[in-house]
């Protein structure tokens, strides 16, 4: 019998797509079948389609993302009698995998209701629940997830096989009779999970097993509990994330409509919100004006908050990553007992395995930006811009910090999850596992390997070795070109769209001239760039030590500005003479134009953690917080032959500090840096050399600087990061698209 074959591509597995198609076909009286295969969803329909194909994209399930609906003729060997869901076919992966999704309203109502899933911590359906964190292989079927050991009971099987049920073919389906279980563990003794609230109310710390790993939880309103957690984790100042119901969040933060939308998104990220209303202990986020909040995103979290709030407090909980300092998040029960015993007074455990560790994603609503791309957002893909339809398969390995991997295949870019800093041995192991994991999961066979230009990055060495071992083409990509290209591809900038002026401000990246770049205005496209303006380079005294000790950066900037006496007064106990000798002789003091180190220098001049910062970016974050809403007119940098010299700024800063106007000094720095680069970029657009301006690099995580730059740019077209990180977490995306743009003869 003559019929039609319909191929649906996109995020269409693990989202209830097959039952949706089944119901759609039945409603229209169509016969045939639907199945999952490596390319997505395949539908075969006997007879005329009517409006069936058009309805597929228009009425798709809430978690689905339909990229294409392709219709072709098909001949049935026998006439089908009805429409069926049939078994998955084929091996290999051409489709995307669905990210994990927060508990949907229907499941939440069920947990709070009186049915058989009352208070069940693993309630889910096709509209919510674990996906990527439990998946071991494609196609997405229960047998290939960490739910495989839990055989469905008769009641769950009936729901699973009932097309009218929202759990129809929901692979993680479970109930108390057949699914995973949860318990509290104290001093090796198993106790009822309901006792967790008592531990928290007593000021204790609980290790909580979530979707992508363990968190450490404590009462966020209890300064002694927060201080205890900081002492045990040896984490003196880095901000803690918080979890609470929306009513609790509103007590401590002002939540806009856009911010609430982000909080309630199925990806359930941590959302940065400004402090407002009641105050939490300053130790939650020392020196910061924003806090990172998330809603409970699993039934276990909802039940945890219920038990915690059983006394009517409704207070939020600190929910910080459960790991040793610098190591990746713990995911296994035995691993948690071994590594977190020194931190936690109790463990809230369950017996469902976590297939891969995923940190919480971090986002901001104004200006909108993804700061960390992880749980709930990966492994979502981005379509490649116009002109990349025939792009080869590429793997890109990112940088040394905030490491992430990117794959290009079938016109899509898959930017992997945040891994961390590759200097740490266990993070390096996680990087290698992620490389093998993504390749196997997505049946990826690259033709090209892209790496950072820096030869000593572990990710670069890994890529070089793989390219040599497998005889693949190697493309080495300059760090800031990758930042620019990543911003361009996220904004769907066409391959032949013309050149873009890229303001790229970050910490460190090796330039082709052998110096360390970090404050650049580039002009170029996917194929190449030229450097048009840059911050005046100064020595990084002590190399890597300059990243952690802001006084070193302040010393060289003040000396360069003729303010050595002020430097001597500011840092009397620092080894200034030795530092100056090292800078003069170039001993472990490479020249750098880093905007990140300029932030550190200004912060040190204003008394912000001058001798040492306890985590990367601490000085810059505190400097932004200090600026607050203070206003100042921009002070021009000296511009000569492309070089932007901030020396005049430091003279103005000295005057403001003497007048005890630190907030105005911090604001002056932000507006002046923004204006200096924006003026140069606007000139490139005005001359016709550039068609738009792109803003990238980790420094643009600073909301105040981003707003000031946008204001200074006026009405020129601007490309921004919204769905991928501006920091090095997005670096691999830029590397990958640059490698894809290289012709065979380049």
Residues designated catalytic: 18, 36
State the pairing for strand pair 83-85/31-37: parallel
Tokens read off for 186? 């104290």
Q: Among positive and negative, which fits the CA dihedral 150, 341, 426, 721?
A: positive
Kindly report whether the peptide bond that precedes residue 401 is cis, defined as omega within 30 degrees of 0: no
Q: Among positive and negative, which fits the CA dihedral 647, 649, 650, 654?
A: positive
Distance CA 305, CA 311 (A): 11
Distance CA 185, CA 555 (A): 52
Cα distances (angstroms) measured from residue 542 to each of 130, 558, 595, 610: 46, 17, 17, 15
CB 19 within 8 A of CB 163: yes
Give the number of other CB atoms < 10 A from CB of residue 449: 25
Q: Based on DSSP, count helices (H) and strands (E) in the chain, helices before strands.
A: 23, 31
State the pairing for strand pair 290-294/346-350: unpaired
3-state SS, residue 610: coil
CA dihedral defined by 659, 664, 669, 673, rounded to 10 degrees?
Answer: -140
Burial class (CB in 10 A: 0-12, 13-18, 19+), 270: buried
CB 420 within 8 A of CB 358: no
CB 669 within 8 A of CB 602: yes
Give me the helix-helix angle, 595-605 and 662-686, nearest 10°: 160
CB 701 within 8 A of CB 369: yes
State the pairing for strand pair 412-415/381-383: antiparallel
Give the number of other CB atoms < 10 A from CB of residue 719: 21
Distance CA 560, CA 571 (A): 16
DSSP 48-65: --TTHHHHHHHT--TT-E
Distance CA 666, CA 382 (A): 37
DSSP 699-742: GGG-HHHHHHHHHHHTTS-EE--SSS-SSGGGHHHHHHHHHHH-
- Strands in 189-191's sheet, in edge-to-edge order, are 189-191, 182-186, 346-350, 206-209, 214-219, 317-321, 241-243, 290-294, 270-274, 362-365, 368-372
């Amino acid at each position: 019998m003559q019929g039609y074959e319909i191929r649906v591509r996109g995020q269409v597995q693990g989202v209830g797509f097959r039952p949706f198609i089944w119901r759609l076909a039945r409603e229209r009286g169509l016969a045939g079948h639907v199945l999952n295969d490596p390319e997505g969803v395949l539908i075969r329909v006997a007879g005329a389609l009517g409006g069936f194909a058009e309805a597929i994209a228009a009425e798709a399930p809430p978690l689905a993302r339909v990229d294409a609906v392709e219709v072709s003729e098909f001949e049935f060997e026998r006439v089908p009698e009805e429409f069926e869901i049939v078994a998955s076919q084929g091996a290999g992966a051409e489709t995307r995998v669905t990210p994990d999704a927060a508990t949907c309203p229907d499941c939440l109502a069920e947990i709070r209701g009186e049915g058989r899933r009352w208070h069940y911590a693993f309630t889910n359906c096709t509209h919510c629940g674990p996906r990527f964190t439990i998946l071991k292989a494609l196609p997405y079927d229960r047998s290939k997830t960490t739910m495989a050991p839990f055989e469905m009971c008769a009641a769950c099987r009936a729901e699973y096989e009932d097309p009218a049920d929202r759990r129809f073919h929901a692979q993680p389906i479970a109930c108390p009779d057949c699914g995973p279980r949860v318990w509290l563990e104290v001093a090796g003794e198993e106790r009822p999970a309901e006792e967790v609230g008592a531990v928290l109310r007593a000021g204790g710390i609980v290790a909580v097993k979530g979707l992508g790993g363990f968190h450490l939880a404590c009462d966020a309103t209890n300064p002694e509990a927060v201080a205890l957690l900081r002492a045990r984790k040896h984490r003196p100042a880095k901000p803690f994330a918080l979890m609470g119901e929306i009513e609790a969040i509103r007590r401590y933060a002002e939540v806009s409509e856009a911010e609430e939308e982000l909080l309630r998104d199925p990806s359930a990220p941590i959302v940065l919100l400004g402090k407002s209303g009641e105050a939490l202990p300053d130790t939650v986020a020392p020196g910061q004006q924003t806090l990172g909040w998330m809603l409970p995103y699993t039934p276990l979290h909802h039940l945890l908050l219920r038990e915690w709030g059983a006394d009517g407090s409704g207070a939020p909980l600190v929910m910080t990553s459960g790991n040793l300092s610098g190591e990746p998040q713990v995911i296994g029960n035995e691993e948690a007992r071994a590594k977190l015993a020194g931190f936690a007074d109790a463990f809230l455990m369950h017996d469902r395995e976590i297939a891969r560790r995923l940190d919480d994603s971090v986002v901001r609503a104004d200006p909108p930006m993804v700061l960390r791309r992880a749980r709930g957002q990966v492994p979502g893909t981005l379509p490649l811009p116009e002109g990349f339809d025939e792009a080869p398969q590429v793997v890109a390995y990112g940088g040394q910090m905030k490491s992430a991997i990117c794959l290009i295949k079938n016109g899509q870019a898959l930017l992997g999850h945040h891994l961390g800093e590759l200097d740490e041995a266990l993070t390096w192991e996680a990087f290698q596992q992620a490389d093998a994991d993504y390749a196997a999961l997505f049946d990826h066979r690259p033709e090209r390997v892209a790496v950072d230009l820096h030869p000593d990055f572990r990710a670069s060495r890994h890529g070089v070795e793989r390219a040599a071992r497998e005889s693949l083409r190697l493309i080495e990509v300059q760090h800031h070109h990758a930042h620019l290209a990543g911003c361009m591809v996220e904004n769907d900038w066409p391959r032949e769209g013309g050149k873009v002026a890229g303001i790229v401000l970050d910490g460190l990246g090796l330039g082709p001239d052998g110096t360390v770049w970090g404050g650049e205005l580039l002009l170029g496209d996917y194929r190449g760039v030229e450097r048009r303006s840059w911050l005046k380079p100064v020595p990084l005294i002590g190399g890597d030590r300059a990243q952690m000790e802001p006084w070193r950066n302040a010393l060289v900037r003040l000396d360069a500005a003729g303010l050595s006496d002020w430097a001597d007064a500011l840092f009397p106990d620092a080894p200034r003479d030795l530092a100056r000798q090292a800078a003069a002789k170039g001993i472990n003091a490479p020249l750098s134009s880093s905007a990140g180190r300029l932030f550190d220098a200004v912060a040190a001049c204003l008394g912000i953690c001058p001798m040492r910062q306890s985590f990367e970016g601490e000085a810059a974050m505190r400097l932004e917080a200090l600026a607050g809403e203070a206003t100042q007119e921009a002070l021009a940098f000296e511009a000569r032959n492309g070089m932007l010299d901030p020396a005049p700024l430091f003279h103005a800063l000295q005057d403001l500090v003497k007048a005890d106007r630190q907030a105005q000094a911090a604001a002056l720095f932000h507006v002046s840096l923004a204006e200096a680069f924006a003026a140069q970029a606007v000139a490139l657009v005005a001359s016709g050399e550039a068609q738009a301006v792109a803003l990238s690099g980790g420094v643009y995580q600073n909301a105040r600087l981003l707003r000031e730059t946008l204001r200074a740019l006026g009405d020129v077209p601007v490309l921004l990061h919204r769905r991928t990180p501006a920091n090095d977490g997005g670096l691999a995306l830029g590397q990958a698209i640059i490698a894809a743009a290289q012709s065979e003869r380049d």
